[in-house]
Amino acid sequence: MAAPTTTERPATPSTQDLAPARKGRVGASLLTVLAWIVGIGFFFPILWMVLTAFKQEADAYTTPPKLFFTPTLDQFRAVFDAGIGPYLLNSLFATVVSTILVLVLATPAAFAVSLRPVKKVQDVLFFFISTKMLPVVAAIVPIYVVVNDIGMLDNIWTLIVLYTAMNLPIAVWMMRSFFQEVPKELLEAASMDGASTARSLREVVLPVISPGMAATALICVIFAWNEFFFAVNLTAARAATVPVFLVGFITSEGLYFAKLCAAATLAALPVVIAGWIAQNKLVQGLSFGAVK
């Protein structure tokens, strides 16, 4: 940055010219340091959780904390013995099915509020997002009553319906912003070429916004996987999910910290994997190549 300025005006590289550049450089390194601090601040608890998961319960409670210890898989074994398996399956099922449902429903909805705008788009969009304005706590009692009345308590499909409803507004908004990036000439070209609306959506638009869909799917997966409130209130033995299982580890007697960390590590793993898979799509970015 500074080099071209000085070569352009070699005669008088006055201090006024250099001062902002130096200030900029100092500012940049401060920002870098800050970014590292924030980054480590975020990462450290996770690192600590993973480390603790490999400790014996006794090691997990020492002050000052032990950095060097003999790693063990005992806690993971204990977690599996406690029966995390069915909970993992429930979480997986609820997450995958609800995410698929959300994408299937949100894609045409987002299409209708972006590329092929219906009437009163603003009102429709506000309606979608307004459903997220009521705190879940306020809705849980009526939901509980309804679910109870139709005999769907402790049923995984109840969670699937709720997770779909919970993620749908966000997904529509996200997908809409990706759709809006698509040049409308692409759709027009497709319709000239003889494609029906459904066909041009499938063959032309969706491949273009697939990174956006990946991002949307990832968000839905994370929200559904981590959801606790509905799960704890509406499920019991059969349909409970991993977050409910985690809480079960917090007991009043005995040491549970390392075991909890091991369970939490296991619970976090699928999300990390999903993120890693989605990342391949995400980094491609929305590629319009020839049209933009």
Partner 1 sequence: MAEVEFDQASRIYTAGAKPAVNRLDLEIADGEFVVLVGPSGSGKSTALRMLAGLEEIDGGQIRIGGRNMVGVPSRDRDIAMVFQNYALYPNKTVGENMAFPLKMRGVPKEERATKVKAAAEILGLSEYLDRKPRALSGGQRQRVAMGRAIVREPQVFLMDEPLSNLDAKMRVSTRTEIAAMQRRLGVTTVYVTHDQVEAMTMGDRVALLKDGELQQFATPAELYDKPANAFVAGFIGSPAMNLFTLPVSEEGVRMGSSELALPRSLRSRITEAGLSTVQLGIRPEQWTVGSNGDGAGVKAQVDVVEELGSDAFLYAHLDDGEQTPVVVRTGGRSGARRGDQIALTPTSEDLHLFDPSTGERV
Beta carbon nearer to partner 1, 37 or 291 = 291
* 219 is an interface residue for partner 1 by CB under 8 A: no
We find the least distance from the C-beta atom of residue 290 to partner 1, in angstroms, to be 3
- Choices 48-56, 158-166, 200-208, 231-239; region in contact with partner 1 by CB under 8 A: 200-208
Among positions 92, 103, 105, 186, the unique one binding partner 1 when judged by CB under 8 A? 186
**Per-residue contact track with partner 1, 138 to 177, x per CB under 8 A?**
----------------------------------------
Beta carbon nearer to partner 1, 89 or 291 = 291
**Binding-site residue total for partner 1 (CB under 8 A)?**
23
We find the least distance from the C-beta atom of residue 199 to partner 1, in angstroms, to be 7
- If one counts every other C-beta atom within 10 angstroms of the C-beta of residue 141, the result is 10
Closest of 218, 3, 193 to residue 210, by C-alpha: 218
* 290 is an interface residue for partner 1 by CB under 8 A: yes
We find the least distance from the C-beta atom of residue 65 to partner 1, in angstroms, to be 51
Q: How far is CA 60 from the centre of its chain?
A: 30
* 180 is an interface residue for partner 1 by CB under 8 A: no
30's CB contacts (< 8 A; 6+ apart) are: none
Among positions 24, 207, 275, 279, the unique one binding partner 1 when judged by CB under 8 A? 207
Secondary structure of the chain in HEC code, one letter for each residue? CHHHHHHHCCCCCCHHHHHHHHHHHHHHHHHHHHHHHHHHHHHHHHHHHHHHHCCCHHHHCCCCCCCCCCCCCHHHHHHHHCCHHHHHHHHHHHHHHHHHHHHHHHHHHHHHCCCCCCCCHHHHHHHHHHCCCCCHHHHHHHHHHHHHHCCCCCCHHHHHHHHHHHHHHHHHHHHHHHHHHCCHHHHHHHHHCCCCHHHHHHHHHHHHHHHHHHHHHHHHHHHHHHCCHHHHHHCCCCCCCHHHHHHHCCCCCCCCHHHHHHHHHHHHHHHHHHHHHHHHHHHHCCCCHHHC
We find the least distance from the C-beta atom of residue 126 to partner 1, in angstroms, to be 24
Closest of 240, 239, 233, 242 to residue 268, by C-alpha: 242
* 189 is an interface residue for partner 1 by CB under 8 A: yes
Among positions 6, 177, 180, 196, the unique one binding partner 1 when judged by CB under 8 A? 196
We find the least distance from the C-beta atom of residue 210 to partner 1, in angstroms, to be 8
| Direct distance between the N- and C-terminal alpha carbons of the chain, in angstroms, rounded to an integer | 28
We find the least distance from the C-beta atom of residue 116 to partner 1, in angstroms, to be 13
* 192 is an interface residue for partner 1 by CB under 8 A: yes
Among positions 25, 199, 202, 238, the unique one binding partner 1 when judged by CB under 8 A? 199
We find the least distance from the C-beta atom of residue 99 to partner 1, in angstroms, to be 23
* 204 is an interface residue for partner 1 by CB under 8 A: yes
- Choices 31-39, 102-110, 186-194, 268-276; region in contact with partner 1 by CB under 8 A: 186-194
The residues of the shown chain that bind partner 1, judged by CB under 8 A, are: 183, 185-186, 188-196, 199, 203-204, 207-208, 287-292
